[in-house]
Amino acid sequence: MKTALITGITGQDGSYLAESLLRDGYRVFGLQRRSSTITTERVEHLLEGGVTLISGDLIDENSLIRALEKTEPDEVYNLGAQSFVPTSWDQPILTGEITALGVTRMLEAIRIVNPKVRFYQASSSEMFGKVQESPQTERTPFYPRSPYGVAKVYGHWITINYRESYGIFTVSGILFNHESPRRGLEFVTRKVSFGVARIRAGFQKELRMGNLDAKRDWGFAGDYVRAMQLMLRQAEPDDYVVATGETHSVRELCEVAFARVGLDYRDHVVQDERYFRPAEVHVLTGDASKARRKLGWRPETDFKGLVHMMVDADMELVAAMIRSGAMTK
């Protein structure tokens, strides 16, 4: 039986990855940082079924060493990060500590405890930022546009550096935006799907949004965590772009989401400059042909299917909240 340790297990990807590893027969441990509120909502259903949480923080090197010693993993998936781009302008140093230096702390812990551990780094299409070519591949130069993007570039290169310096099996997955009903409420897809459900149920009339012309290559998180696992199962460590290859605007996202419940987004969506970013990533399109060729990976959920899945889930969530009294007019 193989053992995996996931940082960021309480996040969107961590929960899907844990489910997928359990299905593959892994023992799964997850690093959980201390919080005064409950953060296990996304993995609650897995805590009885094989996932064990370990206390630790990417800011605290010794906690990472202890987590590795306690769990003795074959694989470490480093998904922990300050991952919301606008927050990275408000808290650039914290973002650097967690999202950039946190990677080095985990790599150092692996080097100290067991350099045979295989390591996955959650890199991001935000590293391409102001894109230098389209579509973006593993060879496209980086031009990050936010402190978050800059931190991820550091994480990507330190991952490669520990492979080349110490021969550790490290891979970097350059994942384009991936979403799900478990996405945080502040990210654009979930803000729209939850907003649509609230508007449909009569709890609000308008949805205030930022740049409607921004374009992203959006996929389904459940599809993307499979690519992470496949990367760690290869004979040689390497880096891969994971994307759908299809790009849509935030405006199209609104159009499809509102239409799902019989509404016209133009009656509800208001563009508000307060949500504009100091520097925007205008358009991203990934070329995942290397992942297709070498990993045999391909996405199974298309854009419309993803948006419908998220709107349907939030319609059910809002209905349940009304029933339980958690949402009242």
Which residues carry out catalysis? 124, 126, 148
**In the range 35-74, which residues lie near ligand F7E by CB under 6 A?**
none
Q: Are 191 and 185 in contact (CB under 8 A)?
A: yes
User: Is residue 33 a contact residue for ligand NAP (CB under 6 A)?
Assistant: yes
Q: Are 200 and 259 in contact (CB under 8 A)?
A: no
Q: Which of 293, 248, 251, 295 minimizes the C-alpha distance to 269? A: 251
Binding flags for ligand F7E, 205-244, as an x/- string (CB under 6 A):
----xxx--x-x----------------------------
Pick the binder of ligand NAP from 23, 35, 235, 329 (CB under 6 A).
Answer: 35
Q: Which of 71, 154, 79, 72 minimizes the C-alpha distance to 121? A: 79
Q: Where are the alpha helices (H) located in the chain, listed in sequence order?
A: 12-23, 61-71, 85-90, 92-95, 102-113, 147-166, 188-200, 221-232, 250-260, 289-290, 303-324
Determine the Cα angle at 160 with ends 157 and 69, to 5°: 110
User: Is residue 125 a contact residue for ligand F7E (CB under 6 A)?
Assistant: yes
User: Is residue 316 a contact residue for ligand F7E (CB under 6 A)?
Assistant: no
Binding flags for ligand NAP, 172-201, as an x/- string (CB under 6 A):
---x-xx-----x-----------------
Q: What is the distance between the alpha carbons of residues 204 and 199, in angstroms, rounded to a whole number?
A: 5
Q: What is the distance between the alpha carbons of residues 19 and 44, in angstroms, rounded to a whole number?
A: 11
In the bound state with ligand F7E, the residue whose beta carbon lies nearer, of 69 and 213, is 213
Instruction: Kindly state the smallest distance separating residue 2's Cβ from ligand NAP, in Å.
Output: 21
Q: What is the distance between the alpha carbons of residues 288 and 277, in angstroms, rounded to a whole number?
A: 28
Pick the binder of ligand NAP from 79, 109, 227, 306 (CB under 6 A).
Answer: 79
- Tokens in use for 259? 């239409």
**In the range 67-106, which residues lie near ligand F7E by CB under 6 A?**
83, 85
Give the range of 48-56, 68-76, 134-142, 273-281 binding ligand F7E by CB under 6 A. Answer: 273-281
Q: What is the distance between the alpha carbons of residues 180 and 96, in angstroms, rounded to a whole number?
A: 26
- What is the maximal distance between C-alpha atoms in the chain? 59
Give the range of 28-36, 136-144, 229-237, 273-281 binding ligand NAP by CB under 6 A. Answer: 28-36
Give the interface with ligand F7E as residue ranges (CB under 6 A).
Answer: 83, 85, 124-126, 176-177, 186-188, 191, 209-211, 214, 216, 250, 275, 277, 280-281
Give the interface with ligand NAP as residue ranges (CB under 6 A).
Answer: 7-8, 10-14, 31, 33, 35, 39, 57-59, 79-83, 98, 122, 124, 175, 177-178, 184
